């Protein structure tokens, strides 16, 4: 049996399937509808991580103008918190963003934060803290429960730039003090050159971008400068009023006035609201104007130069603030620049560090904790429709306020809040409707007729660690260091060059020579004191030394940087040759000492000695030699001998030792040399002596002469009674002659002398004196003499020049006298023959 | 003999199956946040912390100044050492908390450079504790460019060299 019931079931199945598919599609179209079906707990760390990324790496939204410059009433425009200065510079946070983020009176925990940085529909509880290592720690959110998701991100915080303009700037730079006339109205202009600011430096981390960050201008010494220029005036009678602020922009060559809106006026002298009502009277000696970026952001697309012209009115009139700045014509605004003094320039707000304190990065750490959101959604504090008012009470990290959250209070009723700090925390402030009430522990709103806020702020207890260092080093950080309860504080102990750590006392207890110490989990005040001592080194002399000694001869301990001196004493006859420092040879500092340069290590020192060496300068004059000669080296104690040899025919004239004569000695020996000496020898030629002489007073034929026909003559002429007479004859000469061999061996410089006479000598005839060096084979004339032809003959004495060298040292030397005549009537005589020679 | 009673059970079975499948789809498809360290949260936190600390140390505090990291590497002997400045600052950045207790993260840092002869050298830079081998450490790195001027560095002088700073981090 069959029926159609089964078809119905299939229809139902098909319809149900379509319904389920449609349901899934719709559900997936609605964001967040099914979010969190998974376990919440595993997401805490991930949500904390995501929140950390948004805070540290994102600049937030809106970007232009930045979200942090929206005033409290405009906070609904802020859709996402982000602290980074730009997308391109993760981990570098903007100080203004940080300040605004932690402004818990403007943004209310948890809703304002949850919707802008935590996100998601699940009501997470959270806490965001910032450890500002160069400023104040901040926190927003609840006290941490036992378990939570967590991330920590080290970051840099970019500080803002600011210019401090003192009277040196506006007087010596002739910016203001130009015109000598007194005036009551003065204008000073500051140039914000956007194209240059954004073009010269493009890295957002160091850029001054007025469209992104506040700029601050502080002008100092206003009234005191008036007083200084006119001593009659004093500060009590002088007044300075900021009468107006005008802004001009320059595009190309054209200038135009740009009126400021109320939301673009600056904050003056730390005011919490903008000062848009002018004049601003009773300026103290200084005035500080902080411009937020809205105005510059409005003009940034035009790449304009912007002049901020501050108009001052001073009383009494003064010269030091004259209207000297380059400004457009106030009245016509015709786009043309009118100069009161074209030589002046505005103050440049730029990258010159002498003008503007540049942005500076400092360390910080962002912490995010997220946990199960068992917190009440407090709402925005609006008035309930039942005639009640809402007081929103919040507590920062480290304490509680009771009651907490949105507290409904009947119109006209009172409401007490009690504030209690957690253990190890203390109350730092209680802010009621944005106004500080100090460190009170309770506060009562009386006769509540409107909504209020009360925020209790706490800070962790801090302890003081007093760090000090003795002479010779440093401890970092130094002085009184404030440390949070339970935190850690490291200290680094660094000795100066040449010093070492002798001890580190922690709370008065020695901890030895440690170079660092960390106070962990600080719960009390502490002290840390480091002491140092100068480093010492040992210089060890090597003993004993050969041929000398060293003083001191024991290891010496010296301080770092000392310059110790060691003295070397050589044995007699020795001197210090080389100093060995760690075995390396070095020259001595003085002949007998070595002084170390500033000592920075251990050393050994030794020395080597060398025997003294002297020079004996030996020299000889002409005609002789001395051996050895020249510069002769002699060691101490040596006994060198010098030989002096004269040349042939010479003899030693004298020997001088150190300038003193020691006689004509052929040798000289120095006794034990201990100094340099000189020795010199001079020579003299030997004196000629007579080798032979004959005055013929003895018959020459019996006296060694060989004679041929001569007479031993007693007639005239003669000297002493006899002479030799020679007669001529026909035929070749010599006709009659006499000769004798006289050995000149051992002699040189032979000279002869003789006397000749002649008579009746005709032409071509002569009487001659001759010598022979070859034993009579050949003769050489010494003298040819013709005498007198008639009358009485006389003897003439001849002394010819020294004979040639062939006559020297000649055993065959011979003298001959003869006559070359033509007949017996020719006469010749010879007498007084002498031969001289210089003995060898 | 047949009837339709069995069909009802069949339909219920199909319906139950569809509901279960739909439920599973919804659960699986629900929004969740995945991160690199999803299954090792503590490793992810250490990596993020170390990377941030190295990045912060390599950011100059003002224009025209070298970064602290560059100064540290310049001051560390080319043969290596335990640079106190690195140790103090890195430890401070990774362990500082607003809570009552500091964290207890230890580290060991080296830097690696390629010498002119293409050999590589790993130079000790700083450490808070020696590795014993049993730690569960994560590794973070940062490239740093350094010029040591006339001092020999990576086999050259007066040349800017890129070195890879590597830090192993672990919890006590």
How do residues A774-801 score in pLDDT, each as one tens digit?
A: 988 999 999 998 888 888 888 899 988 8
Mean pLDDT of B66-93: 86
Tokens 């005639």 map to which residue?
A387
- Average pLDDT of the residues in A511-524: 87
pLDDT tens string A187-202: 777 888 888 888 888 8
Q: Are strands B161-171 and B105-114 parallel, antiparallel or unpaired?
A: antiparallel
Confidence at A487, pLDDT banded by 50, 70, 90? confident
Contacts of A516 in chain B (CB under 8 A): 84, 87-88
Overall average pLDDT of the A91-101 stretch? 90
Do B48 and A133 make contact, defined as CB atoms within 8 angstroms?
A: no
CA distance A510 to A529: 9
Residue the block writes with tokens 């074209």: A342
What pLDDT sits at residue A135?
Answer: 59
A661 pLDDT more than 80: yes
Nearest to A441 by CA among A484, A477, A395, A492: A395
Share the mean pLDDT of chain A.
Answer: 82
The confidence score (pLDDT) of residue A54 equals 92
Three-state secondary structure call for residue B71: helix
User: Can you give the pLDDT at residue B100?
Assistant: 56
For residue B106, what are its two tokens? Answer: 């230890």
Q: Does A26 touch chain B (CB under 8 A)?
A: no
Q: Which residue has the higher pLDDT, A683 or A311?
A: A683
Q: Does A23 touch chain B (CB under 8 A)?
A: yes
What is chain A's alpha carbon radius of gyration, rounded to the nearest angstrom? 64
pLDDT at A515 over 60: yes
Query: Taking residues A266-281, what's their average pLDDT?
Result: 82
Q: What's the pLDDT at A343?
A: 53
Q: Is the CB of residue A43 less than 8 Å away from at least one CB of chain B? A: yes
The pLDDT of residue A186? 73
Compute the distance between CA of residue A277 and CA of residue A263 in angstroms, rounded to an integer: 12
Percent with pLDDT over 90 in chain A = 26
Looking at residue A630, its pLDDT comes to: 92
Measured in whole angstroms, the distance separating CA A797 from the mean position of its chain's CA atoms is: 99
Helical (H) or strand (E) element with A124: none
Point out the residue among A1, A9, A397 whose CB comes nearest to the CB of B11: A9
State the DSSP code for A485. T
For B4-36, how does the pLDDT look when each residue is reduced to its tens digit (9 = 90+)?
666 666 777 777 778 878 777 776 666 555 544
Q: How confident is the model at residue A248 (pLDDT cuts 50, 70, 90)?
A: confident
pLDDT at A165 over 60: yes
Q: What is the pLDDT of residue A178?
A: 43
Give the contacts of A559 (CB within 8 A, at least 6 positions apart): A498, A534, A535, A536, A537, A599
CATH class label, A689-839: mainly beta
- Residue A374 in contact with residue A142, Cβ under 8 Å? no
In B, residues 57-96, which contact A (CB 8 Å cutoff)?
59-63, 84, 87-88, 91-96
Please tell me which residue, A134 or A205, carries the higher pLDDT value: A205
Say how far apart CA A764 and CA A821 lie, in whole Å: 8
Sort out which chain A residues have CB atoms less than 8 A from B30's CB and list them: 34-38
**Strand, coil or helix: A676:** coil
Q: What is the pLDDT of residues A109-125, one digit of tens each?
A: 888 888 888 887 677 88
C-alpha span between A657 and A670 (Å, rounded):
9
Gap between the Cα atoms of A297 and A735, Å rounded: 151
3-state helix, strand, coil in chain A (%, to 5): 10, 45, 45
Strand segments, DSSP code E, in A621-673 are 624-627, 630-635, 641-646, 650-657, 660-661, 667-669
Give B 95-134 residues with CB within 8 A of chain A.
Answer: 95-103
pLDDT of the residue at A414: 84
Q: Does A152 touch chain B (CB under 8 A)?
A: yes
Q: Which of residues 206-235 of A touch B (CB under 8 A)?
A: 206
From first CA to last CA, the distance across chain A in angstroms is 179
What would the pLDDT profile of A351-381 be if each residue is shown by its tens digit?
Answer: 887 778 888 888 888 999 988 765 443 333 3
In the DSSP assignment, the letter for residue A760 is S
On the question of pLDDT at A773 being above 90, the answer is yes
In this prediction, residues A266-278 reach a mean pLDDT of 81
B83 with B72: CB under 8 angstroms? yes
Share of chain B above pLDDT 70, in %: 85
The answer to whether the CB atoms of A24 and B22 lie below 8 A apart is: yes
Helix (H, G, I), strand (E, B) or coil at A13: helix
Reported as a single tens digit per residue, the pLDDT across A306-337 is 888 888 887 777 665 544 444 544 444 444 44
Q: Which of A253-262, A286-295, A330-339 has the highest mean pLDDT?
A: A286-295
A150–B contact, CB cutoff 8 A = yes
pLDDT above 90: residue B153: no
* pLDDT surpasses 90 at A68: no
Give me the residue spans of the domains in chain A: 41-158, 162-356, 381-460, 462-533, 537-600, 613-685, 689-839
Reading the block at residue A186, the tokens are: 């003065």
Residue A615: per-residue pLDDT: 92
| B68 interaction partners in chain A (CB closer than 8 Å) | none
ipTM of model over 0.90:
no
Q: How confident is the model at residue A679 (pLDDT cuts 50, 70, 90)?
A: very high
DSSP B97-153: -SSSS---EEEEEEEEEE-TTS-EEEEEEEESS---S----EEEEEEEEE--TTS-B
Q: How confident is the model at residue B134 (pLDDT cuts 50, 70, 90)?
A: confident
For residue range B28-71, what is the model confidence (pLDDT) as tens digits?
A: 666 555 544 445 677 888 899 999 999 999 999 888 788 999 98
Smallest CA-to-CA distance from A381 within A371, A393, A369 is with: A393
* Residue that is written with structure tokens 């002008």 in the block: A219
Of A257-271, A642-656, A711-725, B60-74, where does mean pLDDT reach its minimum? A257-271
Q: What is the pLDDT of residue B11?
A: 74
Q: pLDDT tens, B96-105? A: 887 656 788 9
Give pLDDT, residue A569.
92
| Residue A486 to residue B96, Cβ atoms within 8 A | no
Q: Is the dihedral of CA A762, A763, A764, A767 positive or negative?
A: positive
pTM of the model: 0.50
Exposed/middle/buried for A777, CB within 10 Å: 0-12, 13-18, 19+? Answer: exposed
Whether the Cβ atoms of residue B112 and residue B161 lie closer than 8 Å to each other = no
What pLDDT is stored for residue B53 in this prediction? 94
Cβ of A12 under 8 Å from any chain B Cβ?
yes
Q: What's the CA gap between A660 and A796, in Å, rounded?
A: 49
**Residue A741 forms beta bridges with which residues?**
A814
Q: What is the structure's pLDDT at A812?
A: 92
Characterize the bridge pairing of strands A556-559 and A536-541.
antiparallel
d(CA B105, CA B71) in angstroms, rounded, equals 24
Query: What does A60-86 look like in DSSP terms, one character per residue?
Result: -B-TTTTGGGS-GGGGGG--B---BS-
- For residue B57, the model assigns a pLDDT of 93
Instruction: Inform me whether the C-beta atom of residue B28 falls under 8 Å from chain A C-beta atoms.
Output: no
pLDDT value, residue A449: 79
- Percent of chain A clearing pLDDT 70 (strictly above): 87
Residue A104 near residue B68, CB atoms below 8 Å: no
Distance, CA of A36 to CA of A495 (rounded, Å): 58
CA distances from A772 to A701, A740, A757, A777 (A): 20, 10, 21, 7
What pLDDT sits at residue A38? 45
Q: Kindly report, residue by residue over A26-51, the tens digit of the pLDDT.
A: 766 665 555 444 444 457 888 888 89
Residues within 8 A of B (CB atoms), A 352-371 only: 358-363, 365, 367
pLDDT for A235 beyond 60: no
User: What pLDDT does residue A384 have?
Assistant: 35
| pLDDT of A753 strictly over 70 | yes
A492: nearest CB among B3, B59, B88:
B88
Q: Nearest Cα to A151, choosing from B32, B48, B95?
A: B48
């Amino acid at each position: 049996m069959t029926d159609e019931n089964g078809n119905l079931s299939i229809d139902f199945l098909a319809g149900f399937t379509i319904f389920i598919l449609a349901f899934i599609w719709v559900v997936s179209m609605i964001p967040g509808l099914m979010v969190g079906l998974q376990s919440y707990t595993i997401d805490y760390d991930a949500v904390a991580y995501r929140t950390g990324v948004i805070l540290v790496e994102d600049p937030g939204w809106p970007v232009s103008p930045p979200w942090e410059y929206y005033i409290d009433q405009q906070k609904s425009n802020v859709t996402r918190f982000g602290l980074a200065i730009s997308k391109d510079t993760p981990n570098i946070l903007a100080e203004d963003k940080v300040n605004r983020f932690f402004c818990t009176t403007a943004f209310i925990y948890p809703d304002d934060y949850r919707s802008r940085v935590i996100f998601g529909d699940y009501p997470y509880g959270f806490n965001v803290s910032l450890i500002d290592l160069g400023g104040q720690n901040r926190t927003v959110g609840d006290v941490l429960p036992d378990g939570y998701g967590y991330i920590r991100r080290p970051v840099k915080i970019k500080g803002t730039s600011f210019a401090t303009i003192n009277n040196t700037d506006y007087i010596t730079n002739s910016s203001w003090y130009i015109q000598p006339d007194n005036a009551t109205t003065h204008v000073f202009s500051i140039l914000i050159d956007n194209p240059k600011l954004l073009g010269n430096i493009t890295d957002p981390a160091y850029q001054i971008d007025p469209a992104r960050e506040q700029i601050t201008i502080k002008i100092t010494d206003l009234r005191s400068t008036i007083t200084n220029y006119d001593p009659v005036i004093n500060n009590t009678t002088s007044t300075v009023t900021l009468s107006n602020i005008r802004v001009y922009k320059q595009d190309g060559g054209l200038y135009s006035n740009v009126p400021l809106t109320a939301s673009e006026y600056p904050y003056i002298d730390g005011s919490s609201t903008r000062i848009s009502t002018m004049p601003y009277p009773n300026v103290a000696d200084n005035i500080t104007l902080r411009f937020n970026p809205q105005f510059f952001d409005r003009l940034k697309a035009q790449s304009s130069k912007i002049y901020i012209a501050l108009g001052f009115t001073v009383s009494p009139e003064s010269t030091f603030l004259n209207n000297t700045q380059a400004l457009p014509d106030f009245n016509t605004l015709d786009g043309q620049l009118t100069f009161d003094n074209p030589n002046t320039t505005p103050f440049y707000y730029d990258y010159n560090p002498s003008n503007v304190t540049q942005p500076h990065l400092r360390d910080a750490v962002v912490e995010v904790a997220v946990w199960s959101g068992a917190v009440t959604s407090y709402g925005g504090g609006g008035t309930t429709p039942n005639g009640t008012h809402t007081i929103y009470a919040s507590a920062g990290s480290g304490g509680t306020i009771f009651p907490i959250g949105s507290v409904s209070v009947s119109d006209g009723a009172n409401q007490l809040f009690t504030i209690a700090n957690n253990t190890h925390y203390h109350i730092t402030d209680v802010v009621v409707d944005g106004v500080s009430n100090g460190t009170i522990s309770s506060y009562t709103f009386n006769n509540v007729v409107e909504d209020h806020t009360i925020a209790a702020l706490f800070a962790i207890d801090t302890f003081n660690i007093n760090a000090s260092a003795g002479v010779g080093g440093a401890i970092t950080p130094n002085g009184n260091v404030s440390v949070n309860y339970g935190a850690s504080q490291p200290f680094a102990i660094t000795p100066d060059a040449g010093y070492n750590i002798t001890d580190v006392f922690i709370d008065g207890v020695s901890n030895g020579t440690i170079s660092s110490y960390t106070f962990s989990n600080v719960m009390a005040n502490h002290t840390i004191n480091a002491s140092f001592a100068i480093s010492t080194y040992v210089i060890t002399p090597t003993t004993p030394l050969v041929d000398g000694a060293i003083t001191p001869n024991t290891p010496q301990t010296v301080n770092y940087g000392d310059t110790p001196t060691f003295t070397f004493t050589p044995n007699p006859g020795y001197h210090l040759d080389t100093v060995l420092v760690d075995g390396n040879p070095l020259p001595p500092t003085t002949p007998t000492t070595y002084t170390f340069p500033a000592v920075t290590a251990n050393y050994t020192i030794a020395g080597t000695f060398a025997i003294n060496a002297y020079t004996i300068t030996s020299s000889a004059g002409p005609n002789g030699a001395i051996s050895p000669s020249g510069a002769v080296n002699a060691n101490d104690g040596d006994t060198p001998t010098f030989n002096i040899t004269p040349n042939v025919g010479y003899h030693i004239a004298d020997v001088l030792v150190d300038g003193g004569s020691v006689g004509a000695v052929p040798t000289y020996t120095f006794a034990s040399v201990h100094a340099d000496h000189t020795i010199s020898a001079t020579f003299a030629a030997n004196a000629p002596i007579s080798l032979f002489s004959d005055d013929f007073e003895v018959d020459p034929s019996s006296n060694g002469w060989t004679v041929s026909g001569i007479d031993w003559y007693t007639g005239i002429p003669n000297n002493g009674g006899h002479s030799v007479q020679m007669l001529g004859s026909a035929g070749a000469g010599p006709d009659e002659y006499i000769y004798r061999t006289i050995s000149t061996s051992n002699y040189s410089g032979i000279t002869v002398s003789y006397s000749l006479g002649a008579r009746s000598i005709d032409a071509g005839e002569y009487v001659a004196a001759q010598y022979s060096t070859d034993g009579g084979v050949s003769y050489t004339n010494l003298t040819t003499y013709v005498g007198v032809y008639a009358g009485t003959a006389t003897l003439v004495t001849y002394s010819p020049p020294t004979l040639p060298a062939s006559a020297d040292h000649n055993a065959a030397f011979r003298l001959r006298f003869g006559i070359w005549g033509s007949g017996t009537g020719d006469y010749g005589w010879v007498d007084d023959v002498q031969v001289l020679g210089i003995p060898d | 003999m047949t009837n339709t009673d069995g069909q009802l059970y069949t339909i219920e079975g199909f319906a139950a199956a569809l509901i279960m499948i739909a439920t599973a789809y919804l659960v699986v498809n629900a929004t969740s946040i995945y991160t690199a360290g999803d299954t090792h949260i503590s490793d992810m936190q250490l990596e993020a912390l170390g990377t941030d600390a190295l990045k912060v140390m390599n950011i100059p505090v003002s224009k025209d100044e070298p970064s602290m990291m560059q100064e540290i590497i310049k001051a560390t002997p080319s043969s290596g050492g335990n640079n106190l400045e690195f140790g103090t600052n890195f430890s401070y950045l990774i362990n500082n908390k607003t809570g009552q207790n500091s964290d207890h993260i230890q580290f060991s840092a080296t830097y690696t450079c390629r010498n002119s002869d293409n050999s590589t050298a790993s130079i000790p830079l700083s450490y808070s504790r020696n590795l014993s081998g049993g730690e569960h450490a994560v590794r973070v790195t940062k490239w740093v460019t350094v010029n040591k001027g006339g001092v020999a560095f990576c086999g050259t002088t007066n040349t800017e060299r890129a070195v890879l700073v590597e830090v192993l981090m672990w919890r006590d």
